[in-house]
Structure 1
């Protein structure tokens, strides 16, 4: 599963859920700019520039409620994206740039919700990643929307990122699980990452998880922006190919669990058995070590029989849409 991750710039996604970003004090509420406090962001967003927000990792998104009959997206440069207004279906836009009209047919007057997710390619957003806000009708404005209070974070590699599924993050098991449970969700995931930072260059989530994005140049993530209810970890498939030993893997897993607990004191942390069934003993031992240390909200999740590699994957490793749907159904039942 060592899929080459084109670590291009990370991109935008604008979809329904929860406010996860501390907005700048000067936010002009209602104007549709990135710092508009009515816009709800979920996932790890780099907000250092008030006029251009940049999401990190996979599946970052936000929701925009608005009045009026049209909505346009301010896009700096060419990008592929999916957009959804109110209860309609996802519409695909390819290679769009500048002011992108998402409502060629006017909407009825009233209050609406915009959801947009930028298309990914091997875990990297496909095109320019900078979100510069929306343009509304004259006299229209954004409005605050109701959002879930439960937040689930999915940590993993290309499987969690949805590589090989039809809409990547949008059709990945994490996204689907969150939707089934009516929860906010994000995937801290990219292809070709390991748990343990291997000597031959595999990026280790043991350490990189704590950044705003995959690139080391991104800021350390500020965990005070939001607290999650659940963390679901699915790591180890790439470690095998990078000759990470069982002892290295187990030690790295314990460290990651300890570090996550320090950031999320009240979250339930679930360590999934990877679908290749590698490092099972070590994953169980890492969970047991944390339990024995008094952390009773860490648990091991067996995935035996969840998917059939012959029919539920695209290549024997990466789940197809049907496989992700099966995983989501099982995982939603576990998370409850």
Structure 2
């Protein structure tokens, strides 16, 4: 039974990959000719609750590297999440069904080594996804070493809320969300960087909204709903982009504690990512007056950190002029792409400056 996988207009599709990709189906029978089965992937992608084999942050998921002609996976999900499946670099959408199901990701491939990347299009509040197993008719291979890494921290803009909807009037559904099309994901792919996205729609940093968790409350979680321990210093991460403030300053708000909370976040990130360049970004939503207030607060936090000796930190304006909108006035695919260009240019410039 087809689960609604659909093609997008991606160029230069190899015939063997295109044919194999047609097998993104929900399987109702036991796996056939499974030469090897594993209960953990070759590599996790992004922030996950690895001990429980659960992933929930947008853009999180796993890599499977295998030698063979077929591949299937078994997952448990609540039934509203979708994944971006990249088979040898060719992306396709996979909608998950409620409960435990096996999904045939490839069949009839040419014999040889292949790589599948599976990442969540959807964010954490929609529910976690459990990795149960993967099966191939050949054998699984060790994952290749990671390249440079990027971390993106933000709200609905960074999660990809409504990016595939035709806005601004369309209502959000999980089907309109796609982290794969966000500015951070597009820039990371262009730069050859692995990405971890920590984003929650509606989140901010100010504690003025009583009873609402802030990014500092959840940033260490394995998934949005599963607590985690603060990460140890990670020198593999070379860029961190923070796009927070939209929910703190919208509708004329100007929370007095924002600057202090932002400073706490910068301090935590500098400890955890000692070699990374930090980009304190903002945009593209909010009326000009609210944007100016938020921008001034973020710039002040940046200037304070720089005055204390921080040398790899700068403000990044991502307020591009939209040509169109996603759902509820959120950035469309074209706006996200324009933001990605700005982020990529900044990272390239700072790579050259700092080597």
Q: Aligning the two structures, in what range does the TM-score lie when normalised by the shorter sequence?
A: 0.7 to 0.9
Please tell me whether the aligned partners of residues 73 and 135 of structure 1 are also in contact (alpha carbons under 8 angstroms): yes
- 1:230-277 Cα distance to aligned partner (Å, 9 max, x none): 110000111124876343111111111111112222211110133232
Q: CA deviation at 1:84?
A: 2.9
The structure 1 segments of at least 4 consecutive aligned residues displaced by more than 6 Å after TM superposition are: none
Select which of 338, 342, 347 maps to 1:335.
Answer: 347
Q: CA deviation at 1:322?
A: 0.9
SS of residue matched to 1:57: coil
Partner of 2:249: 240
Please tell me whether the aligned partners of residues 77 and 96 of structure 2 are also in contact (alpha carbons under 8 angstroms): no
Are 1:168 and 2:166 counterparts? no
Partner of 1:279: 294
Q: 1:251 to 1:182 in 2, by over 3 A?
A: same
Task: Name the Cα RMSD after superposition.
Answer: 2.4
Matches within 5 A, 1:131-142: 131-137=131-137, 140-142=138-140
SS of residue matched to 2:103: strand
Q: Distance in 1 between matches of 2:103 and 2:125?
A: 17
Normalising by structure 2, report the TM-score. 0.75
Matches within 5 A, 1:41-80: 41-49=44-52, 53-77=53-77, 79=79, 80=82
Q: CA deviation at 1:202?
A: 2.9
- The structure whose residues are more often strand, as a share, is 1
Please tell me whether the aligned partners of residues 124 and 224 of structure 2 are also in contact (alpha carbons under 8 angstroms): no
Stretches of structure 1 that go unaligned for 5 or more consecutive residues are 1-29
Q: Distance in 2 between matches of 1:128 and 1:296?
A: 38
Partner of 1:107: 109
Are 1:299 and 2:314 counterparts? yes
Matches within 5 A, 1:1-336: 31-34=37-40, 39-49=42-52, 53-77=53-77, 79=79, 80-95=82-97, 97-103=100-106, 105-120=107-122, 123-124=123-124, 129-137=129-137, 140-166=138-164, 167-215=177-225, 217-223=226-232, 227-241=236-250, 245-275=254-284, 276=286, 277=291, 278-304=293-319, 306-308=320-322, 311-314=323-326, 317-336=329-348
Please tell me whether the aligned partners of residues 32 and 136 of structure 1 are also in contact (alpha carbons under 8 angstroms): no
Q: CA deviation at 1:302?
A: 2.2
Q: Distance in 1 between matches of 2:126 and 2:256?
A: 37
Q: Distance in 2 between matches of 1:226 and 1:68?
A: 35
SS of residue matched to 1:114: strand
- 1:69-124 Cα distance to aligned partner (Å, 9 max, x none): 11000113564434232143414344274221112x4111111111223442xx34
Please tell me whether the aligned partners of residues 302 and 313 of structure 2 are also in contact (alpha carbons under 8 angstroms): yes
Partner of 1:24: none
Normalising by structure 1, report the TM-score. 0.79
- The structure whose residues are more often helix, as a share, is 2
Q: Distance in 2 between matches of 1:255 and 1:238?
A: 18
SS of residue matched to 1:84: strand
Please tell me whether the aligned partners of residues 192 and 202 of structure 1 are also in contact (alpha carbons under 8 angstroms): no
Q: Distance in 2 between matches of 1:142 and 1:94?
A: 23
Which has the higher Rg, Structure 1 or Structure 2? Answer: 2
SS of residue matched to 2:301: helix
Please tell me whether the aligned partners of residues 165 and 320 of structure 1 are also in contact (alpha carbons under 8 angstroms): yes
- Number of aligned positions between the proteins: 292
SS of residue matched to 2:220: coil
Q: 1:47 to 1:223 in 2, by over 3 A?
A: same
Please tell me whether the aligned partners of residues 298 and 315 of structure 2 are also in contact (alpha carbons under 8 angstroms): yes
SS of residue matched to 1:250: helix
Please tell me whether the aligned partners of residues 192 and 238 of structure 1 are also in contact (alpha carbons under 8 angstroms): yes
Stretches of structure 2 that go unaligned for 5 or more consecutive residues are 1-35, 165-176, 349-355
